[in-house]
Copies of this chain bind each other. A is one copy, B any other.
């Protein structure tokens, strides 16, 4: 067979331009390219068929003051980069076989040639929904586990607040806190999410931050004793209100500050002096610095998922064409749960 016989069409979500502010659908376009489903001779790479793509807030890209971007999800005229679950179609590496399932950074297209094999995880346990490896069993779940367990050193009975609590990470942080025996309150942006947090995910309380006009008073209502642990996903006014309500020796895992990334001028945080008064720890972290504990995390989380002790809400979008709208909905808050784009079911 000639190489041509392995050439197939390949639908892609291409980045047209860098975002200004939050992503718009017009920042992306769907094109059809082609790809050879064979690894070029001598290249230590794999070709995969993408099944489930992950849609995450970090993909907007955040920049630090030195202008070097942290995440490179978007490069103009190339496919969007994100995590995904995929099936190996051809392998140039002894570590991967045709038919293997993997998760890791892939691209928003039907098929991908992946060369950075160290960044991929082979999926061994297939009795759970495969899309979970984009979520509760993958990077977001691991992030929640690291932030809650490693950064916050939780104890049973502590008071825990999670913002963006119905998001890919917040859901898990809150449920881990419940399993630890903590009192857990979450904030989210709609009545529907608040109801699900309380009735399906087992949070003790939840509130819609869009309906609260004095977040300090809101937190005092839910935490009359104050907050021991804050799992921070949003930043800005919420962080300021939390700082005013932290307890002595409180801990804040700084996972993200989604309310701030798109602002030209971030909001000023006025209550940071509480770090002195209350001996508070705040710690930013990146999950890839904790890869060594992924196996321990996976074992723990697989058991919780199989036993139904942790449940996971996905916002499922069908077809790769649904990608741009799904990403935009993350930032408008119209999504509901972990963003997943189903490219193919196997």
Residues of A within 8 A of B (CB): 62-65, 70, 235, 239, 244, 254-257, 260-261, 265-286, 289
Contact = CB atoms under 8 A, between A and B. Distances in A.
Contacts of A283: 275, 279-282
A70 B276 CA distance: 10
B270 A267 contact: yes
Given A274-B65, A278-B64, A284-B277, A267 B268 contact: yes
A270 B265 contact: yes
A282 B279 contact: no
18 contacts: A62-B273, A62-B277, A64-B278, A65-B271, A65-B274, A70-B277, A235-B272, A261-B273, A265-B270, A266-B270, A266-B272, A267-B270, A268-B269, A268-B270, A276-B284, A277-B284, A278-B284, A279-B283
Given A267-B270, A281-B283, 18 more contacts: A62-B277, A63-B277, A64-B274, A64-B278, A65-B244, A70-B277, A254-B275, A255-B276, A266-B270, A266-B273, A268-B268, A269-B272, A274-B284, A275-B283, A279-B284, A279-B286, A281-B284, A282-B283
A269 B289 CA distance: 27
Given A266-B270, A269-B269, A276 B257 contact: yes
B273 A257 contact: yes
Helix, strand, loop or mixed for chain A's interface? loop
Oligomer copy total: 2
B266 A271 contact: yes
B276 A62 contact: yes
Contacts of A235: 272-273
A151 to B, nearest CB: 9
Contacts of A266: 270-273
A116 to B, nearest CB: 20
A165 to B, nearest CB: 18
Contacts of A244: 65
Nearest to A266: B270
A273 B268 CA distance: 10
- Which 5 residue pairs of A and B lie closest in terms of their CB atoms, listed nearest first? A268-B268, A275-B284, A64-B277, A279-B284, A282-B282
A272 B261 CA distance: 11
B282 A281 contact: yes
Nearest to A281: B283
A64 B269 CA distance: 16
Nearest to A280: B284
